[in-house]
């Protein structure tokens, strides 16, 4: 009976539900509209974010378009030539897929054009480089992105002054020049940049200033004046400066392997050798260091010798050699000087004067036309001196640091004969052509050497140069001197020396004769005032020698890049006394931080040298105090260690005394600590007991 009531109740409920649904479907239709005043709090981005990303933009299709104003207005007859000029300027930034030249009713161009690139990146690069590009004296390009016109159209009528931005200091980039004791800095790199350290060459021990792991991926490089430290990465080059070596600027250039600074540190040249295989990637880029922007890029064809560009001393000009041409560019336009290259058939090499806008180049022989060395004045392109040379195999150009002299080392043939209307040469001899740059009409001295030349080096400050010459079994080192109005003279000749490199002190007078490579790292320190050999020694397998900027210290290093073992560096005095030996795992390079030229006049420098004895006592006293301080610090350190040892020893003795009662209990009240080895009366009992037994079944 109860079961039946439950079934009847469920049937009644089902009927009621069915009736309600039928009433809804017939009388009141469902309403899915939002009520009046409803505000949807969910944005379209939250619901359809992935789909909205594919929504077309107004700028799609025009981001790759640029507008060039300032184009010459020409008629139909000159239209083809104009298009060639425009394509020559703008095609180097990428592929131009479309171009439009608006014209008047009579077919004359209106002075502006539209260019469309294959990629928006190409359009951006074209705007950066070609805006304000001077085509000629009457036409200068004004280049903008097509999408920028919307921005210009939305400029408000009323000008509002920009909000002042907080000043962010990058630190004192020249703080190291204010070091009170004039200590120099040097950077040490290990492995492929696995560790980079910056040290201060303080006395008696160097002081570590900075140490970072993976600071660079390959190597490091100082800028010419020492302001920046450059590090190399797969994505580009970064510059660091200031007391904490904070990042000053970064330059994006994928695959960069080489970088070169202009002498005044205004510009940076980066080179990616592998970019030559990728037409869309730039191989060579010149950057403005302070602005961090690209000034111009270049493409390269064929093998290149680094540095590709060579700079004038004042950053106004840079040049490179092409096929039978010399290309000289000017800054800040970065265009060819006078818009044309110098045609010099047979040009082989050139080099700028370190103090004047004069470059020296040499041209090889061509049939009956002799070889020639020429001094060219820039920017007027006037030949101020020529020297013809015969039977020339090769030339090397060496400028003296002060620009007073130029030496051209000439390799010459001794014999020649004619075979099948061709001239054949054999035998070699050598001579040096010395140009006196500061004298009237630039006279030239010649020095002939019959033996092979292994090395040549000018004295940085002075009028001497040194050469290493002779056969391998009998190598000699000769020093020559120059005086104004006098002939070149031999000052000294050292015979039977085991050396193949010359390293002059930056201050002159002192030189290191080094035998690198297979000569085992022999070193000789020579004073060229009286040609005294101050020390003859060696640093086994030395691969590098580096003088500090002051000429007081010299470093010899064994680099992992050249040697397979015993890596590290030694620091020496200019007299050849070892101050520090440092062995480092995978040591790669050590570079002294350069210093800018002195602000003292020549007269002030002479006065200081003249009165040097007056300052000697002051410097000696300071050195003595420094060494005394170092000795005092060493004594204090040893005293502190001794004090710590005595305190530890006293604590252990006190602990030993406190544990004596317990020891007596464990030893049956026999004080074994006080017994002599002969009087000890202690019975020794050996107790053996079974610990464990294991049975292992061997298969």
Report which of 189, 199, 285, 183 is spatially closest to residue 230, judged by C-alpha positions.
Answer: 189
Q: In whole angstroms, what is the distance from residue 479 CA to residue 410 CA?
A: 18
Q: In whole angstroms, what is the distance from residue 243 CA to residue 173 CA?
A: 7
pLDDT value, residue 523 = 96
Lowest mean pLDDT among 132-141, 255-264, 501-510, 532-541: 132-141
Kindly list the distances between the CA atom of residue 269 and the CA atoms of 252, 309, 556, in Å, as whole numbers in the listed order. Answer: 12, 8, 29
Kindly list the distances between the CA atom of residue 198 and the CA atoms of 176, 414, 534, 589, in Å, as whole numbers in the listed order. Answer: 12, 52, 30, 12
Chain-centroid distance of CA 587 in Å reads 18
Q: How confident is the model at residue 699 (pLDDT cuts 50, 70, 90)?
A: low
Q: Is there a contact between 351 and 396 (Cβ–Cβ < 8 Å)?
A: no
Lowest mean pLDDT among 312-316, 332-336, 383-387, 676-680: 676-680
Report which of 312, 378, 328, 322 is spatially closest to residue 345, judged by C-alpha positions.
Answer: 322
DSSP, residue by residue, 316-345: SEEEEEETTEEEEEETTTTEEGGGS-EE-T
Q: How confident is the model at residue 517 (pLDDT cuts 50, 70, 90)?
A: confident
Report which of 430, 396, 507 is spatially closest to residue 462, judged by C-alpha positions.
Answer: 507
Q: How confident is the model at residue 619 (pLDDT cuts 50, 70, 90)?
A: confident
Q: Is the pLDDT of residue 28 over 70?
A: no
The burial class, CB within 10 Å (0-12 / 13-18 / 19+), for 200 is middle
Q: Is there a contact between 554 and 503 (Cβ–Cβ < 8 Å)?
A: yes
Residue with tokens 């705007």: 127
pLDDT value, residue 175 = 92
User: For the chain, first and last CA: distance in Å?
Assistant: 79
**How large is the average pLDDT for residues 449-460?**
92
Report which of 290, 289, 469, 307 is spatially closest to residue 298, judged by C-alpha positions.
Answer: 307
Beta-strand pair 358-363/347-352: antiparallel
Mean pLDDT, the chain, rounded, equals 85
pLDDT value, residue 1 = 42
CB contact set of 675 (below 8 Å; sequence gap of 6+): 681, 682
Helix, strand or coil, per DSSP, at residue 520: coil
Alpha-helical regions (H) of 34-78: 44-52
Say whether 453-597 and 309-450 share the same fold: yes
Q: Is the pLDDT of residue 13 over 60?
A: no
Helix, strand or coil, per DSSP, at residue 80: helix
Structure tokens at 292: 């961090």
Q: Which fold has domain 453-597?
A: Methylamine Dehydrogenase; Chain H (2.130.10)
Q: Is the pLDDT of residue 10 over 50?
A: no
Structure tokens at 135: 């085509």
Residue with tokens 């009847």: 8
CB contact set of 687 (below 8 Å; sequence gap of 6+): none
Degrees, nearest 5: CA angle 439-441-444: 75
Percent of the chain clearing pLDDT 70 (strictly above) = 87
Q: Is the pLDDT of residue 625 over 90?
A: no
Degrees, nearest 5: CA angle 499-505-509: 95
Neighbour-count burial for 77-102, b at 16+ CB within 10 Å, e otherwise: eeeeebeeebeebbebbbebeeeebe
E strand or H helix that includes residue 477: strand 476-481
Digit-coded pLDDT (tens) for 66-95: 999 999 999 999 999 999 999 888 887 888
251 φ, ψ (degrees, to nearest 5): -125, 115
The count of residues in the chain is 699
Beta bridge pairs of residue 109: 103
Digit-coded pLDDT (tens) for 175-186: 999 988 889 999
pLDDT value, residue 605 = 86
Residue with tokens 């492995």: 191
Domain ranges of the chain: 65-153, 309-450, 453-597, 603-644
Q: In whole angstroms, what is the distance from residue 517 CA to residue 587 CA?
A: 17
E strand or H helix that includes residue 354: none
Q: In whole angstroms, what is the distance from residue 242 CA to residue 606 CA?
A: 32
Judge if pTM exceeds 0.85.
Answer: no
Degrees, nearest 5: CA angle 367-370-376: 130
Q: Is the pLDDT of residue 376 over 80?
A: yes
Q: In whole angstroms, what is the distance from residue 371 CA to residue 365 CA?
A: 4
pLDDT value, residue 5 = 43
Lowest mean pLDDT among 2-16, 112-126, 172-186, 425-439: 2-16
CB contact set of 37 (below 8 Å; sequence gap of 6+): none
Digit-coded pLDDT (tens) for 304-330: 789 999 999 999 999 999 888 999 999
Structure tokens at 522: 């022999």
Q: In whole angstroms, what is the distance from residue 266 CA to residue 288 CA?
A: 6
Helix, strand or coil, per DSSP, at residue 486: coil
Q: Calculate the dihedral angle through the C-alpha atoms of 109, 111, 117, 120, rounding to the nearest 10 degrees.
A: -150
Report which of 280, 438, 288 is spatially closest to residue 356, judged by C-alpha positions.
Answer: 438
Q: Which fold has domain 65-153?
A: Alpha-Beta Plaits (3.30.70)
Q: In whole angstroms, what is the distance from residue 105 CA to residue 289 CA?
A: 48
Digit-coded pLDDT (tens) for 488-509: 889 999 999 999 999 999 999 9
Averaging pLDDT over each range in 260-264, 415-419, 602-606, 608-612, which range is the top one? 260-264
CB contact set of 621 (below 8 Å; sequence gap of 6+): none
Q: Is there a contact between 114 and 39 (Cβ–Cβ < 8 Å)?
A: no
Query: Between 23 and 646, where is the model more confident?
Result: 646
Structure tokens at 254: 């994928």
Helix, strand or coil, per DSSP, at residue 620: helix
**Could you say which of 1.10.1740.10, 2.130.10.10, 1.10.260.40, 1.20.1440.230 is the CATH number of the domain covering 309-450?**
2.130.10.10
pLDDT value, residue 188 = 96
Alpha-helical regions (H) of 571-611: 602-610
CB contact set of 588 (below 8 Å; sequence gap of 6+): 189, 190, 191, 192, 219, 559, 560, 561
Beta-strand pair 236-241/246-252: antiparallel
Lowest mean pLDDT among 127-141, 576-590, 649-663: 127-141
Residue with tokens 């378009």: 65
pLDDT value, residue 596 = 93
**How large is the average pLDDT for residues 643-656?**
92
pLDDT value, residue 616 = 78
Q: In whole angstroms, what is the distance from residue 363 CA to residue 395 CA?
A: 9
């Amino acid at each position: 009976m109860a079961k039946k009531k439950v079934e009847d109740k469920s049937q009644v409920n089902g009927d009621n539900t069915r009736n309600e649904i039928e009433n809804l479907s017939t009388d009141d239709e469902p309403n899915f509209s939002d009520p009046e005043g409803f505000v949807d709090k969910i944005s379209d981005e939250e619901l359809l974010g992935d789909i909205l990303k594919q929504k077309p933009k107004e700028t799609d299709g025009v981001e790759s378009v640029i507008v060039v104003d300032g184009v010459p207005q020409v008629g139909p007859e000159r239209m083809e030539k104009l298009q060639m000029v425009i394509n020559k300027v703008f095609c180097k930034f990428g592929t131009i897929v479309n171009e439009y030249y608006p014209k008047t009713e009579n077919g004359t161009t209106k002075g502006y054009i539209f260019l469309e690139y294959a990629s928006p990146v190409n359009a951006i690069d074209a705007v950066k480089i070609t805006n304000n590009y001077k085509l000629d004296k009457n036409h200068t390009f004004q280049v903008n992105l097509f999408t920028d016109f919307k921005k210009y159209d939305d400029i408000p009528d009323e000008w509002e002054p920009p909000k002042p931005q907080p000043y962010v200091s990058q630190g004192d980039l020249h703080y190291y020049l204010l070091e009170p004791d004039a200590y120099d800095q040097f950077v040490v790199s290990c492995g492929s940049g696995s560790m980079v350290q910056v040290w201060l060459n303080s006395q008696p021990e160097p002081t570590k200033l900075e140490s970072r792991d993976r600071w660079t991926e390959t190597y490091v490089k100082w800028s010419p004046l020492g302001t920046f430290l450059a590090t190399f990465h797969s994505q580009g080059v970064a510059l660091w400066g200031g007391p904490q070596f904070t990042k000053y600027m970064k330059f994006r250039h994928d695959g960069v392997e080489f970088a070169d600074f202009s002498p005044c540190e205004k510009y940076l040249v980066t080179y990616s050798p592998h970019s030559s295989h990728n037409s869309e990637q730039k191989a060579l880029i010149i950057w403005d260091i302070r602005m961090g922007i690209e000034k111009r890029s270049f493409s390269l064809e064929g093998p290149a010798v680094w540095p590709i560009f060579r700079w004038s001393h004042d950053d106004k000009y840079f040049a490179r050699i092409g096929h039978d041409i010399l290309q000289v560019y000017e800054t800040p336009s970065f265009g060819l000087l006078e818009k044309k290259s110098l045609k010099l058939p047979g040009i082989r090499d050139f080099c700028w004067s370190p103090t004047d806008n004069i470059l020296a180049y040499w041209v090889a022989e061509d049939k009956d036309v002799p070889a020639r060395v020429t001094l060219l004045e820039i920017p007027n392109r006037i030949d101020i001196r020529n020297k013809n040379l015969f039977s020339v195999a090769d030339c090397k150009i060496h400028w003296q640091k002060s620009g007073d002299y130029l030496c051209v080392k000439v390799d010459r043939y001794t014999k020649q004969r004619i075979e099948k209307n061709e001239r054949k040469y054999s035998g070699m001899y050598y001579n040096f052509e010395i140009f006196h740059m500061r004298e009237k009409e630039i006279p030239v001295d010649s020095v002939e050497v019959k033996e092979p030349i292994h090395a040549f080096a000018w004295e940085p400050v002075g009028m001497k140069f040194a050469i290493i010459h002779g056969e391998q079994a009998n190598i000699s080192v000769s020093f020559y001197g120059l005086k104004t109005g006098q002939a070149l003279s031999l000052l000294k000749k050292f015979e039977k020396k085991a050396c193949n490199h010359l390293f002059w002190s930056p201050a002159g007078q002192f030189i290191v004769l080094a035998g690198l490579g297979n000569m085992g790292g022999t070193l000789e320190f020579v004073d060229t005032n009286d040609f005294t050999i101050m020390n003859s020694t060696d640093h086994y397998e030395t691969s590098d020698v580096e003088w500090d900027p002051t000429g007081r210290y010299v470093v010899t290093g064994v680099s992992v890049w050249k040697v397979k073992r015993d890596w590290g560096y030694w620091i020496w005095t200019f007299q050849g006394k070892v101050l520090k030996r440092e062995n480092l795992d995978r040591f790669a390079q050590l570079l002294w931080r350069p210093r800018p030229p002195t602000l003292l006049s020549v007269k002030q420098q002479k006065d200081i040298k003249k009165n040097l004895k007056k300052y000697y006592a002051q410097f000696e006293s300071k050195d003595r105090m420094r060494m005394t301080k170092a000795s005092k610090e060493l004594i204090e350190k040893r005293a502190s260690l001794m004090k710590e040892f005595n305190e530890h020893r006293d604590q252990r003795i006190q602990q030993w005394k406190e544990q004596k009662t317990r020891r007596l209990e464990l030893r049956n009240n026999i004080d074994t600590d006080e017994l002599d080895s002969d009087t000890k009366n202690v019975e020794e009992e050996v107790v053996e007991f079974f610990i464990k037994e294991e049975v292992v079944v061997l298969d």
